[in-house]
Chain A
């Protein structure tokens, strides 16, 4: 029997090498090709060859040459041929192929075949392979079965098939008769679970069309609302009863899954009902919406009665929760939903944890406080062994972070970071990015604590932080108001780096080193002037100087960035130490590269050398500590950046200052203030701020006179000048500002400006299917006074045109009824 399917499979499996296997496959493939061309091949042989062809298909080989032969097999009178022929056709052909027209007649014949199994094969295949042409031609035959058959086996297949055909060719909706379905549902003897699945499917298909179509009138002249949805709504009551019975039913053998009665059918029915109400809301159909309370009651009962210990029950609960939130049902239900998800988190099953975290993340904007209540469980998931769960938990932790839980949350995150290793680099980078953002967004009273957090971050994962984020961290340090906090921070850094336990920090921890180097340059004097500390034997002028000298050795050749920092730090430190020996060492450090082959480095060293030769009084002014860095200004206006915290940038400015005529006078006027460096700092900083503000407001008023800028002065959130008005109604204005859009990611900020006092503002945003949206929280709160502004950050990742559909729910003037508004906005950017 060398020619049977079995021996072919055995041969392939028995091949010793890949080359052997290839040889066997190629040989067989050629043989099948010749055999199939032979018109006189007996049917039995024909079947064997088609079966071999299917095996080739599974192996991923080319099979196109057998496509016509499958169709020939279908035409055979023998059931065995037909069965194989249909199987092969559904695998080897797909919906896009022209060959499908050849099938039309055969399918047509078989749909009227006396043998019900032939009919069922035809229905199954038509369901898989339904081009719009086939759909149009064969729908009447399928409908005929739905109308006349009393066999549940055929009915369920015909319903599934019809659902697909209607979806393929929407104009069939005109022919579809809802009474056929009513008739089936009324006949107890045919209403098996399979048939009900079919009914659910066909309703889903019709309702999805309604959802896609919205309020537009189709070309076919069908008024969806009155012609389709109203008659369809008559089935709702029946569906409620069936679902309720199913849910409360005890064990029914055959449909039981871990003590739950047919979770498949239950989920399909819940989903169908969800579609009903989605379409009902969209078209504002009274016929459907009248049942909303019944639906809410039913969902409450399902949510409370379903056993949540097994996966099958959890599937139903999960479907229920998804429904609650996508319809944004009443608040008690939403809280119930959040609690169900939270319960999922406490279990051992990873899959339920995953779906729960994922859903909670989408739910945060709808029910922030309810989700926050379960922060403990969410934090617990940060310690999970599965990285995808940790990632979800991390996203969620940041999504629910606000002023009230900031300290606790950040402490949890630190615990989390301490346990991460190289493998979870993505998680670390994500945490740091968001941690920095968090501190930008929320004001922390205890700045010393904030710096301690960054100290720990640097210590644990400094080697994973990219330069951009290091800059952000430096800005945070720079903007700390209390000098004592800064010097404490630096002392801790130095104690660890210079102390006995210096093994903790490796050379790879560039983040740590960069921050330390920068701090030495900026705040070296703060710490060196404190003589009363017991740590003087570790931290003193020469140990700090030596640190710079040593660190230089480790990085010069490998890392230019860090070397630039070292040079600047050395220059700045030179005015802060008093021992001539140390000053000379620092000078040598800079001089050492003044003939470097690297042009940039050489230039820099020579420039710094010029500084070095200036009198101390001049240097002191030039090398003064950095002023406060106004990050927001840079983002909002493209006005001159107030010194970008990077010293390399500053150096050029300094030179122009130095060479400029007024540098001397400036130095003189400021000289007297040098005695009180803190005052000077504040003065500079104060001045800068004033200048920035005046420039900004001037620009803004010029650019966009229509933005009511003055009114914003009471709120924390200020409308940026580049925000575009995207919605204007009697109760509020909405502005959008596109912060960034590149590399598959966009950040958008929405600004809601109230015209009437409103509370409980909820926003729902939708993006095209190719994109993923993460909604931030409303800041500062969901209650807005007249003319105040609250903002929300949107992160969109994916591809395609940037489009938003925004739906807003809010209470006006403290009234209890909810007001809805919806609008769309297209950005002229594409991801």
Chain B
């Protein structure tokens, strides 16, 4: 079962590019997680395994170009190897959506990145859609509806 606790995107310089919490936590707990994990993960060598233990749970991370995708998972429930696939699915989907996605795409279009993520992962961090095509289809339809709204407003 997938039950992600959070997903954080951090740049190589340690800047946060996206974050999403799937469990209710206080602001200070969230801040502590970000503060603890960022340096730990940035310091890890490329060949090391992508799973670390942190506090009472595990963290699965993966680096794509200049970005680290960091996911907190529920111990004994989540399958760490599958979590890596989820991260990869998310990256692939963004890659198709933006066309060869790079860090800047996510910085300037963070709300699109969230839209894609929310189509894939719902509720308490469970995977809701495994098809890249499905996700992209619905996100683009909603994009068109937005621009139609704008068009109507201009015409009226």
Chain A partners chain B? yes
Chain A residues in the interface with B (C-beta under 8 A):
6, 9, 13, 51, 54-55, 58-60, 78-80, 83-84, 87, 90-91, 94-96, 115, 117, 120, 124, 127-128, 130, 153, 156-157, 160-161, 163-164, 167, 192-194, 197-198, 201, 204, 254-255, 257, 262-265, 267-268, 271-272, 311-312, 314-315, 318-319, 322, 350-355, 385-389, 769-770, 798
B122 in contact with A124 (CB, 8 Å):
yes
Task: Please tell me if the beta carbons of A322 and B79 are within 8 angstroms of each other in the complex.
Answer: yes
Q: Which residues of B contact A272 (CB under 8 A)?
A: 1
Contact (A59, B108) CB under 8 Å given A263-B82, A312-B85: no
A349 CB, min distance to chain B CBs, angstroms: 8
**Given A80-B150, A271-B1, A262:B130 Cβ within 8 A:** yes
Encoded as 1 (CB less than 8 Å from any A CB) or 0, chain B from 12 to 23 comes to 000011111110
Question: Which of chain A's residues have a CB closer than 8 A to the CB of B2?
Answer: 264, 267-268
Question: Contact between A268 and B145 (Cβ–Cβ < 8 Å)?
Answer: no
Those of B73-99 within 8 Å (CB) of chain A: 79-82, 84-86, 89
Q: Is the CB of A197 within 8 A of B129?
A: yes
A354 & B51 in contact (Cβ 8 Å cutoff): yes
Q: Are B82 and A315 in contact (CB under 8 A)?
A: yes
Chain B, 52-70, CB within 8 A of any chain A CB = 52-53, 56
Contact with A along B122-144 (1 / 0, CB 8 A): 11101111111110001001100
User: Is B118 touching A90 in the complex (CB atoms < 8 A)?
Assistant: yes
A386 touching B49 in the complex, CB below 8 Å, given contacts A194-B128, A351-B80 = yes
Across the interface, do B130 and A255 meet the contact criterion of CB distance under 8 Å? Answer: yes
A-B contact pairs, 13 of them (CB 8 A): A6-B108, A59-B16, A60-B34, A80-B146, A115-B145, A117-B145, A120-B138, A160-B128, A194-B131, A197-B127, A254-B134, A271-B1, A354-B80
In whole angstroms, how far apart are the Cα atoms of A318 and B80 in the complex? 9
A-chain residues with CB within 8 Å of residue B149 when the two chains form the complex? 78-80
Q: Ordered nearest first, which 5 A-B pairs have the shortest CB separation?
A: A350-B49, A315-B81, A127-B123, A264-B130, A164-B123
CB distance from A797 to the nearest CB of B (A): 11
Bound CA–CA A664/B51 (angstroms): 68
Return chain A residues, CB-CB under 8 Å to B21: 94
B79 touches A319 (CB 8 A): yes
Whole-angstrom CA separation of A583 from B114 in the bound complex: 82
CA distance A167 to B3 in the complex (A): 13
Contact B51 A355 (CB under 8 A): yes
Q: A60-B31, A254-B133, A257-B85 are in contact. Are A267 and B47 (CB under 8 A)?
A: no
Q: Is the CB of A352 within 8 A of B81?
A: yes
Cβ–Cβ contact B150 & A311, under 8 A: no
A167 to B1, CA, bound (A): 15
Taking CB as reference atom, which chain A residue is nearest B34? A60
Bound-complex Cα distance A263 to B53 (A): 24
Q: Is the CB of A60 within 8 A of B16?
A: yes
Given that A87-B115, A157-B122, A268-B2 are known contacts, is A350 also in contact with B16, CB under 8 Å in the complex? Answer: no
Q: Which of B18, B50, B131 contacts A254 (CB 8 A)?
A: B131
Contact B86 A264 (CB under 8 A): yes
Tell whether, in the assembled complex, residue B107 and residue A319 are in contact, meaning their CB atoms are under 8 Å apart: no
A351 touches B79 (CB 8 A): no
A350 touches B47 (CB 8 A): yes
A385 touches B118 (CB 8 A): no
A263 close to B146 (CB less than 8 A): no
Chain A residues with CB under 8 A of B1 = 201, 204, 267-268, 271-272
Q: Which of A13, A257, A351 is in CB contact (< 8 Å) with B49?
A: A351
**Docked CA distance A164–B31 (Å):** 26
Q: Report the separation of the CA atoms of residues A6 and B16 in the bound assembly, to the nearest whole angstrom.
A: 17
- Flag if A315 contacts B111 (CB, 8 Å): no
Cβ of A54: which chain B residues have Cβ within 8 Å of it? 110-111
Interface membership of B43, Cβ < 8 A:
no
Q: In the complex, what distance in Å separates the CA atom of A207 from the CA atom of B50?
A: 31
- B residues with a Cβ closer than 8 A to A are 1-2, 16-22, 24-25, 31, 34, 47-53, 56, 79-82, 84-86, 89, 107-108, 110-111, 114-115, 118, 122-124, 126-134, 138, 141-142, 145-146, 149-150, 153
Tell me which residues across on chain B come within 8 A of A83, comparing CB atoms. Answer: 115, 142, 146
Given contacts A9-B107, A58-B18, A91-B20, contact A193 B49 (CB under 8 A): no
Query: Which residues on the A side are within 8 Å of B18 (C-beta)?
Result: 58
Residues of B within 8 A of A193 (CB): 129-131
Chain B residue, CB-CB nearest to A76: B149
Instruction: List the B side residues contacting A84 at CB < 8 Å.
Output: 111
Given A117-B142, A255-B131, A350-B48, CB of A164 within 8 Å of CB of B124: yes
Residue from B18, B80, B114, B118 having most chain A Cβ neighbours under 10 A: B118
- Least CB distance from A357 to B in Å reads 10
Residues of B within 8 A of A194 (CB): 128-131, 134
Contact A311 B84 (CB under 8 A): yes
Tell me whether B81 and A355 are in contact (CB under 8 A). yes
- Whether the Cβ atoms of A79 and B85 lie closer than 8 Å is no
Q: Is the CB of B127 within 8 A of A117?
A: no
A355-B122 contact in complex given A117-B145, A156-B128, A197-B127, C-beta closer than 8 Å: no
Distance (whole angstroms) from the CB of A388 to the closest CB of chain B: 6
Q: Name the A residues within 8 Å of B126 (CB-CB).
A: 160, 163, 197, 201
Of the candidates A60, A117, A352, A769, the one having the most CB atoms from chain B within 10 angstroms of its own CB is A60
Cβ-neighbour of B108 out of A9, A164, A267 (below 8 A): A9
Q: In the complex, what distance in Å separates the CA atom of A77 from the CA atom of B59?
A: 41
* B3 → chain A closest CB, angstroms: 9
A268 touches B127 (CB 8 A): yes
- CB A3 to nearest CB in B, in angstroms, measures 16
Q: Given the known inter-chain contacts A124-B122, A164-B123, A194-B129, please indicate yes or no for A95 contacting B51, CB distance below 8 A.
A: no
With A and B bound together, what is the CA distance between A161 and B2 in angstroms? 15
Tell me if A91 and B82 are in contact (CB < 8 A): no
Beta-carbon nearest neighbor of B52 in chain A: A388
In the bound complex, how far is the Cα of B111 from the Cα of A6, in angstroms?
12
User: Known: A58-B17, A386-B48. Is A94-B81 also a contact (CB below 8 A)?
Assistant: no
B residues less than 8 Å from A87 (CB atoms): 111, 114-115, 118
A351 touches B81 (CB 8 A): yes
**Which residues in A have their C-beta under 8 angstroms from that of B84?**
311, 315, 351
CB < 8 Å neighbour of B82 from A192, A267, A388:
A267
**Distance between Cα atoms of A312 and B130 in the complex (Å):** 13
Q: Which residues of B contact A156 (CB under 8 A)?
A: 128-129
A84 nearest CB across to chain B (Å) = 7
CA distance A347 to B146 in the complex (A): 49
Instruction: Give every chain B residue within 8 A of A127 (Cβ-Cβ).
Output: 122-123
Contact present for A318 and B123 (CB under 8 Å): no
- Name the distance in Å between B112's Cβ and chain A's nearest Cβ: 10
Most A CB within 10 A of own CB, among B16, B21, B146: B146
Q: Which residue of B lies closest to A348 (CB)?
A: B47
A198–B51 CA distance with the chains assembled, in angstroms: 27
Closest A residue to B119 by beta carbon equals: A124
A124-B85 CB under 8 A given contacts A51-B111, A264-B127, A268-B2? no
How far, in whole Å, are A201 and B130 apart by their CA atoms in the complex?
14
Q: How far is the CA of A272 from the CA of B77 in the complex (A)?
A: 11
Residues of the B chain whose Cβ atoms lie less than 8 Å from the Cβ of A322: 79
Q: Bound complex: CA of A475 vs CA of B22, how far in Å?
A: 53
Instruction: Give chain B residues whose Cβ lies under 8 Å from the Cβ of A271.
Output: 1, 79
Which partner residue on chain A sits nearest B24 by CB separation? Answer: A95
Contact of A388 among B48, B86, B108, B129 (CB under 8 A): B48
Q: Given contacts A9-B108, A79-B145, could you give 11 more A-B pairs where the C-beta distance is less than 8 Å?
A: A9-B107, A58-B18, A94-B24, A115-B145, A197-B129, A201-B128, A268-B2, A315-B84, A350-B50, A351-B49, A355-B81
CB of A153 within 8 A of CB of B138, answer yes
The answer for the CA separation of A94 and B124 in the assembled complex, in Å, is: 12
| Contact (Cβ within 8 A) B118 A198 | no
The docked-state distance in angstroms from the alpha carbon of A96 to that of B21 is: 13
Residue in chain A with minimal CB distance to B15: A59
User: A262, A315, A389: which has the most chain B beta carbons within 10 Å?
Assistant: A315
A315, B79: Cβ atoms closer than 8 Å:
yes
Identity of the chain B residue whose Cβ is nearest the Cβ of A13 in the assembled complex: B107
A386 touches B47 (CB 8 A): yes
Inter-subunit contact B85/A315 (CB<8 Å) = yes
